[in-house]
Every structure is written in structure tokens, then in C-alpha cells.
A and B are shown apart, each in its own frame.
Chain A
Amino acid sequence: MSTDRHIVLEDVRKAFGPKHVLNGVTVDVERGKSLVVIGGSGTGKSVMLKCILGLLDPDSGSIKIDDREVVGLRGSDRDAVMAKMGMLFQGAALFDSLTVWENVAFGLIQGKKMNRKDAKEIAIQKLGQVGLGAEVGELSPAELSGGMQKRVGLARAIAADPDIIFFDEPTTGLDPIMGDVINDLIVHTVQELGATTVSITHDMTSARKIADKIAMIYKGEMIWHGDAKDVDESGSDYVEQFIHGSADGPIQMEVLKP
């Protein structure tokens, strides 16, 4: 095992009451690479990210970051791991009591104890990178459209230059052009900062563009894992069906047929 594995999940399981969401997820991400996780709605992708971040405790299994077991980590050890990570939430999760720039600068001011003036400068620069002008910085999140909120969430996730960044559906709710700008930004962030990223997306164009590796999750398990360029010859019916977005195939949606 000569490659430098930054994040390693082994047999991670998580249930909410009787509902088994993760049924033994095993996956790893190399340092400085980008993993894209694809999979149907409700298959546990967001839950997986929250387990890696430590927002949820897995029921069993192991999660290693920098070769260090992080499951059950508490206190200052947990803080040290958390300081290296950034997250874009699926619903943006902006603090609505703060202005947009304060949101972006939050990790710098509260987490890194930077003074407000310097933090604001960085925040406005990051907002620029996601295509939002300085004047947007003074608005409150409630005054933004869904897509703008998403981009502010993205700016907030990358503001503190973390080692590991999680993007939960970064391009959902954006028009195709802005979606591509965001894809470029993610690729750039990975190259520039050398960050390791895990992204969740339903958008195959985006996945092909930003992924070094692609993994597909189905019913709480990783059913396929490989290089992004191999995704078209995956040999898996599930992956085939997903990337072509076809209703016919092994994945059956539980819906009533009209």
C-alpha cells in the first residue's frame, strides 16, 4: 500500500432506530485527490459525510483521517481534526442572524481568531471566486436566492483553506453555466491548495469534471469504486443505469406506477 490514503472508511455502519442507512461502507480517498460519490436519493450519502465529519457517530466500523482513528474522538483531539475540514451542506445551512460576509468569515473569526477586518477581506475575495460581488456580502442570507445561498455556503467551506473539503451537492440548484464555474472552482481548489475533497452529486457532467475517483453508493453500501475515466466501462448495471438516468434497470424506485 504505497499510496498516501488521507481518508479511509472501513465497514462503517449507521442505523436510525430500525432503519439501516449505512450497511458497511468501505472507501478511501488519496491525499490531494477528489472523490465523487454518486447514488440515488436517500441512500445515505449525506449521512456518510456527517459520519466522517464526526457530526454523527457510526454504530460500528472505522474511519481514519491521516492514519488516525477518528470515530468517538472528543474534546481537543476532535477540534484538531475538525479544524482541517470544511463542509458545504446540502441546504447551505447559512447562519441567518449574520450577514453574508460574516458567514463566509465565520471560521476565520471564531475558529482561527483572525481579526474582523482581515477576515472580511478574505471573505470578499472568496465571494468573488464563487461569482458574488462585495455588495452581496452586506446582505442577509434570507435575501439571497437558493443558488446564491449555495455559493455562499461554498465560499464559507473553502474560506479557511482546509485540507479536506466535503461538498454536498455543490451544483444542485445552479444554472448550467454557474454550475460549470463551480466545477472549475472545485478543481482549482484541489489543485491550488492540494486539498482532498469528497463531493456528492447527482450531476454526471459535474462528476466527470471534478472526480479523480468515483464511487457509487446503493442501499448503504459502496457497490462500485474506480477511476473517473472508467465510469463508462464500470461493468456494473447499477452504475450504467445511474449515469444514463434510466428508469429501467436493477435499481427500482419505490413509486406507484400510474
Chain B
Amino acid sequence: MWNNGGLSPLNFLAVIGQVVLAAFADVGRLSQFLYNSVMHCILPPIYPRLIFEQMVRIGYNSLPVVGLTAFFTGGVLALQIFIGGSRFNAESLVSSIVALGITRELGPVLAGLMVAGRVSAAIAAEIGTMRVTEQIDALVTLSTNPFKYLVAPRLIAALVTLPLLVVVADTIGIMGGYIVGTRSLGFNSGVYIKNTVDFIEFIDIFSGLAKSAVFGFIIALMGCYHGFYSRGGAQGVGRATTNAVVTASILILAANYVMTSLLFTE
């Protein structure tokens, strides 16, 4: 293959063709997977026990990571806005902008990315191991649909849990800003809180939560998809794990842009 003129125009076209075909095959497979997953999320039976188990694993266990991320982000945001604002004599905006930035963007996006790192990877590793050790085949022979039993509970759990996590992230993030603002920037505590509460609107919080539900879906979907199609032993599972985290993170950022432009352009 390589020695008979690897760079001839025809070969070059063939390579492009192969890459394009492979990409289409992947997109097709993902669409099929998405369709199956969504159908099994909607159609009964639903397994509440499995969903609850996953909610604990996805949500509760992510609390420390998400909380710490939000706290430091809120703090750093207060510092930066104070420095930037002082150039226009607009230091008083710190509390409002921290609240806005956290609820609209940083809360959902950072929580999404952190959870993607933890949860997409964990799901891909678990389902991938089940695939390569034939546990998924065994499920099928025991009259259990893997989409129903493995995929749907994770999708539903992530979709519900991410907004809950983001509520926590928003609260802790704003609190981080408050602590930095009152302790080291010299704001009056009562004024800071009043500015935050007065300024923030329902749409700020709601848009962040809506985004995070989508991010949760993406996180679980990528974990399940890459795990489900992993091949070739431990190495294949490792690859699936990496791919799950990378694709989930990129899709979260892309979805964030799309949703922001849909929600806020009039």
C-alpha cells in the first residue's frame, strides 16, 4: 500500500473517501444508539431502583468536586471583576456580575465538565468492561435489554441529577464570591447580598439549569455509547474511557454555545 506511490491523487482521494465514510458510519451508529436509548427511556418498564442507584453515584459522589470548583471560581470571579471594574469606577457591580456569571455560564459549564471527567469515564469503563467480558451478551441471554437495564437508568439519572448539582454549584459559587468580596475586597455584607438578590432574574437561573440537564444527558450518552462499542480487552476499555471524556467535554461546550444563542437572542 505504501510503496506504490502513497501520494498519488487517486490514493489521496481514496483516503479522504475512507475517512468520510468512517465518519458517516460513526454518526449513523450514534444516531441509532441515541434513538434506541431515548425510546427505552420513554417506554415502560422503567426501573426506579436502578435510576436511584445511579443518581447517588452520579450526583452525591460528585458533590465535593463540583462544590470546590464552584467555590474557587466564584472567588476568582469576584477578584477579577473587582480589578477590571475599578478601571471604570464600577466596583459596585462585583456582586451582580458574579451572580450572573455563575448562574448563567460558569456553574453549569464547569459542573458539566467536571462531572464529564468523573462520570463519563466511570460509565464508559463499567459498560466497556461488561462488553469485553461478555456480560452484555449474558444480559441479553437472560431476557434483559441492555438499553433498558444499563443505558436508560444512567441517562435519566444524569439528566435529573445535573441540574440538582448545578443548584448546589450556583449557591456555593455565589458564596465564594461573597466571601472574597466581604473578606478581602471590603464590601459590606448586607449590601453585597442585597445587590445579588435584587439583580438576579429567574431566566438567569433557569437557563443554567436547562443547559445542565442537556449536559447531563450528553455525559451519560457518551459514557454509555463508547462503553457499549468498546472492543479488544483492557486496552479497548481504556480507549473508550478517554474517548467518552473527550467527546462529552467537546459536545458540552458546543451545546452550551448553541443553547446560549437560542435562549438569549431575540
Contacts of A160 in B (CB 8 A): 142
**Closest 8 A-B residue pairs measured CB to CB?**
A111-B143, A107-B142, A93-B134, A93-B138, A110-B144, A87-B141, A55-B137, A93-B135
Is there a chain A Cβ closer than 8 Å to B187's Cβ?
A: no
User: In the complex the two chains form, is B133's CB within 8 Å of A93's CB?
Assistant: yes
Name the residue on A nearest B129 (C-beta). Answer: A96
Compute how far the CA of A19 lies from the CA of B26 in the bound complex, rounded to whole angstroms. Answer: 23
Is there a chain B Cβ closer than 8 Å to A53's Cβ?
A: yes
Compute how far the CA of A111 lies from the CA of B138 in the bound complex, rounded to whole angstroms. Answer: 12
The range of chain B's interface size is: 10 to 19
User: In the complex the two chains form, is A82's CB within 8 Å of B133's CB?
Assistant: no
- A154-176 residues at the B interface, CB under 8 angstroms: 156, 160
The listed residue (B135, B140, B141, B143) touching A95 by CB distance below 8 A is B135
User: In the complex the two chains form, is A106's CB within 8 Å of B142's CB?
Assistant: yes
How far does the Cβ of A107 sit from chain B's closest Cβ, in whole Å? Answer: 4
Compute how far the CA of A23 lies from the CA of B141 in the bound complex, rounded to whole angstroms. Answer: 25
User: In the complex the two chains form, is A89's CB within 8 Å of B143's CB?
Assistant: no
User: In the complex the two chains form, is A82's CB within 8 Å of B143's CB?
Assistant: yes
User: In the complex the two chains form, is B149's CB within 8 Å of A55's CB?
Assistant: no
Is there a chain B Cβ closer than 8 Å to A220's Cβ?
A: no
The listed residue (B126, B130, B137, B149) touching A89 by CB distance below 8 A is B137
Contacts of A58 in B (CB 8 A): none
User: In the complex the two chains form, is B134's CB within 8 Å of A107's CB?
Assistant: no
Chain B proximity mask over A77-96: 1 for CB below 8 Å, otherwise 0: 00100110111011101111
Contacts of A50 in B (CB 8 A): 137
What count of chain A residues pass the 8 Å CB interface test?
A: 25
Chain B proximity mask over A123-161: 1 for CB below 8 Å, otherwise 0: 000000000000000000000000000000000100010
How far does the Cβ of A170 sit from chain B's closest Cβ, in whole Å? Answer: 15
Binding site for B on A (CB under 8 A): 50, 53-55, 79, 82-83, 85-87, 89-91, 93-97, 106-107, 110-112, 156, 160
How far does the Cβ of A91 sit from chain B's closest Cβ, in whole Å? Answer: 6
The listed residue (B135, B143, B144) touching A94 by CB distance below 8 A is B135
Compute how far the CA of A83 lies from the CA of B143 in the bound complex, rounded to whole angstroms. Answer: 6
User: In the complex the two chains form, is A55's CB within 8 Å of B141's CB?
Assistant: yes
- B125-183 residues at the A interface, CB under 8 angstroms: 126, 130, 133-135, 137-144, 149
User: In the complex the two chains form, is B149's CB within 8 Å of A110's CB?
Assistant: yes
Compute how far the CA of A100 lies from the CA of B149 in the bound complex, rounded to whole angstroms. Answer: 18
Compute how far the CA of A227 lies from the CA of B143 in the bound complex, rounded to whole angstroms. Answer: 33
User: In the complex the two chains form, is B135's CB within 8 Å of A85's CB?
Assistant: no
The listed residue (B138, B141, B149) touching A85 by CB distance below 8 A is B141
- 16 A-B residue pairs with Cβ-Cβ distance under 8 Å, sorted by A, are A55-B140, A55-B141, A82-B141, A87-B138, A89-B138, A91-B134, A93-B133, A93-B134, A93-B135, A95-B138, A97-B126, A106-B142, A107-B143, A110-B142, A110-B144, A111-B143
Chain A proximity mask over B47-63: 1 for CB below 8 Å, otherwise 0: 00000000000000000
Compute how far the CA of A22 lies from the CA of B242 in the bound complex, rounded to whole angstroms. Answer: 34
Name the residue on A nearest B143 (C-beta). Answer: A111
Given A95-B135, A95-B138, A110-B149, 8 more A-B residue pairs with CB atoms under 8 Å apart are: A53-B140, A89-B137, A89-B138, A96-B135, A110-B144, A111-B143, A111-B144, A156-B142
Contacts of A87 in B (CB 8 A): 138, 141
User: In the complex the two chains form, is B138's CB within 8 Å of A53's CB?
Assistant: no
Task: Give the one of B134, B137, B139 with max A CB within 10 A.
Answer: B134
Compute how far the CA of A95 lies from the CA of B144 in the bound complex, rounded to whole angstroms. Answer: 13
Contacts of B134 in A (CB 8 A): 89-91, 93
Name the residue on B nearest A83 (C-beta). Answer: B143
Compute how far the CA of A53 lies from the CA of B149 in the bound complex, rounded to whole angstroms. Answer: 20
User: In the complex the two chains form, is A110's CB within 8 Å of B143's CB?
Assistant: yes
How far does the Cβ of A16 sit from chain B's closest Cβ, in whole Å? Answer: 11
Name the residue on A nearest B135 (C-beta). Answer: A93
Name the residue on B nearest A157 (C-beta). Answer: B141
Compute how far the CA of A156 lies from the CA of B149 in the bound complex, rounded to whole angstroms. Answer: 18
